[in-house]
Structure 1
Amino acid sequence: MMIKVFIAGATGWVGTELSKKITQEKGLQLVGGLSRSKGGADLASILNLGNGPIPLFDNITDALDLVDFDVMIDFTKPEIAKSNVIAALKRGKRVVLGTSGLTDADFKEIAAVADEHHTAILAAGNFAITAVILQKFAEIAAKFIPHFEIIDYASGDKPDAPSGTVAELAYRLSKIQTPELAVAIDDTVGRKDARGASINGIQVHSVRLTGHILGVEAIFGEKDETLILRHDAGNGAEPYIKGILMAVNKLSTFEGLKRGLDTVMDI
């Protein structure tokens, strides 16, 4: 059965490569996209896809009224992603969400909408398989090591902090246990904010600096021993594409909200 796909953020960094890949995939058909700067244009012509037209819209309402699709993939901005997702879910569409910057409260609201309309959304801070494996290893470590913090690396122009990868990791580790602190943050001598931000009870330190692309370190410590788990991303979008396509094909297997690509993987 052909799955009709709509990409919100179709002309962005991930969306561009994803659009090209979907047009080559058996069982998937790219039928439209969202682009605030190129609404009304033809995505097939812009990206030289060779099969079209594939209409672009500047708002999700018009897209939902005019395009028949099964799955929306959202890689936009946090200030519009939530409204895109809720609008699509209310129309019974299934959603893959890769946009970072949404809060736990946002996800609670999104989950309620998905449940009410008997559809599905898979949200992940990172669709790269190596990042997914880091999260699983970190969850294992958190079961046995009560002292851990997270370092979040990204380029200097990334506006949101922490990254979606780190926000998701902190959320998941907090479900295992809250780290023990030898010195409580409130007892810190000097600048308390130098100890980072508490995200779900876990200290997170966000570095935003030219030279970084995207990375995460989960650091675990015990007396006389340290475990460091690290993932680094390069310039290309290819590591994310494989995971996104996996998510698209798994959406029909559940209802409601799932957070993390590994929730639909056999690991």
Structure 2
Amino acid sequence: MSRHAPRIAIVGVAGRMGRTLVNAVEQEAGATLAGGIVEPGSSLVGTDIGELAGQGKLGVTAVDSLAAIVDDFDVLIDFTAPQVTLSNLAFCAEHGKRMVVGTTGMNDAELAELDGYRAKLPMVFAPNMSVGVNLTLKLLETAAKALGDEGYDIEVIEAHHRHKVDAPSGTALKMGEVVAESLGRSLDEHGVFTREGQCGPRTDKEIGFATVRAGDIVGEHTVMFATEGERIEITHKASSRMTFAKGAVRAARWVADKEIGRYDMQDVLALN
């Protein structure tokens, strides 16, 4: 495997994110597009994945299993669904591959299963691969430590397109976790995810979440620190999925020569 040009395969190349990832890998001089996976039995098997991504022929055809390209790739990028991702982790661990995982919506059991692979293969797992979002997480850590226990109410507001299936978003939860950890709190105890009817006034330590699903919003996240007399808002807005795709490709290049372990985008960007 080349240290500087890992061969990258992408799961779900027929989807919105998959097509964007194909374009991102093609734009990256330090990586090679090596494979694309579609659903088993899909009519798209054998289709050039460049055509799926609107680029024209790239000479790489879609397959419906990792086994079909096991000798052709070094790093797998997966933004699919929890059980698909866990199956792919098992395959990559068995065959000495590396993974970049952007899948969200995992429950506690699935997250625990994923974490078990930290001793089996090198992987980058992050709910958001955007460089800007991961810088925002560092800003939130600083803000929480400075403001959170000084009478500031904390609310996380996120908006995504109408097709997103999980809520709150993985990024919103990660933002809440960063704030909570900075303040010595737990989202299990202090996270508030629904407010309806006579719910009473907010408590001092709660961290609230609000979700919007509408239209074609790519992704918007705001964390609000509000007290009497002022409000501080830290916001990230994504206008294109390409920002996530470029971050994932950057992570794939980074993890290509790393030792076995579980990493995140803070590691990739040297922010830890």
2:73 maps to 1:69 = yes
1:172 partner SS: helix
Residue number among 88, 95, 108 corresponding to 1:91 in the alignment: 95
Residue number among 191, 208, 216 corresponding to 2:213 in the alignment: 208
For residue 150 of structure 1, report the CA deviation from its aligned partner: 0.8
Per-residue CA deviations over 1:93-152 (Å, capped at 9, x if unaligned) read: 11111122123543332122231x2x2111222222222222111111111222312112
Match of residue 30 from structure 1: 33
1:127 partner SS: coil
Residue number among 112, 137, 140 corresponding to 1:138 in the alignment: 140
Match of residue 125 from structure 2: 123
RMSD: 3.0
2:73 partner SS: coil
Q: Percent identity?
A: 27
For residue 176 of structure 1, report the CA deviation from its aligned partner: 1.7
For residue 189 of structure 1, report the CA deviation from its aligned partner: 9.1
| CA distance, structure 2, for counterparts of residue 44 and residue 79 of structure 1 | 27
Q: Is the 8 A contact 2:22 2:50 kept in 1?
A: no
Match of residue 170 from structure 1: 176
For residue 73 of structure 1, report the CA deviation from its aligned partner: 0.3
Change (3 A) 1:87 1:174: farther
Read off the aligned partner of 2:102 and give its amino acid letter.
G
For residue 167 of structure 1, report the CA deviation from its aligned partner: 2.2
**Pairing of 1:1-267 with structure 2 (within 5 A):** 1=2, 2-36=5-39, 37=42, 38-47=44-53, 48-52=55-59, 54-60=60-66, 62-63=67-68, 66-115=70-119, 117=120, 119-146=121-148, 147-177=153-183, 178=185, 190-192=197-199, 202-210=207-215, 212-234=217-239, 236-251=240-255, 252-259=257-264, 261-267=265-271
For residue 256 of structure 1, report the CA deviation from its aligned partner: 1.5
Match of residue 198 from structure 1: none
Change (3 A) 1:42 1:163: same
For residue 8 of structure 1, report the CA deviation from its aligned partner: 0.5
Q: How many residues align?
A: 251
Per-residue CA deviations over 1:76-109 (Å, capped at 9, x if unaligned) read: 2334223223332333211111122123543332
Structure number with greater CO (CA < 8 Å, separation at least 6) is 2
Change (3 A) 1:39 1:51: closer
| CA distance, structure 2, for counterparts of residue 50 and residue 170 of structure 1 | 43
Q: Is the 8 A contact 1:145 1:222 kept in 2?
A: no
| CA distance, structure 2, for counterparts of residue 240 and residue 148 of structure 1 | 26
2:182 partner SS: coil
